[in-house]
Amino acid sequence: MTSLRLAILGDEKVGKSAVTVRFLTKRFIGEYNSNRDLLYRSSIKQDDSQTDLELLDSCSKKDAKSSISDTPGWADGYIIIYSICDQTSFQAAKILLDTLNKSRASLFTPILLLGNMVDLEHRRTVGVEDGHKLALENGCLYYEVSAADSYISIAIAFKALIREAKAMQNQRPTINKRRRNSLVSMSKRLGAMFSKNKDSPESERRRSSTSCEIQVIEQRQL
What are 95-120's pLDDT values in tens digits? 999 998 887 655 679 999 999 999 99
Residue 169, pLDDT score: 85
What are 49-80's pLDDT values in tens digits? 899 999 999 876 655 455 555 555 678 999 99
What are 172-189's pLDDT values in tens digits? 655 554 454 444 444 444
Q: How confident is the model at residue 30 (pLDDT cuts 50, 70, 90)?
A: confident
Spell out the domains of the chain, with CATH numbers in brackets. Answer: 2-216 (3.40.50.300)
3-class secondary structure for the chain? Answer: CEEEEEEEEECCCCCHHHHHHHHHHCCCCCCCCCCCCEEEEEEEEECCEEEEEEEEECCCCCCHHHHHHCCCCCCCEEEEEEECCCHHHHHHHHHHHHHHHHHCCCCCCCEEEEEECHHHHHHCCCCHHHHHHHHHHHCCEEEECCCCCCCHHHHHHHHHHHHHHHHHHHCCHHHHHHHHHHHHHHHHHHHHHHHHHCCCHHHHHHHHCCCCCCEECCCCCC
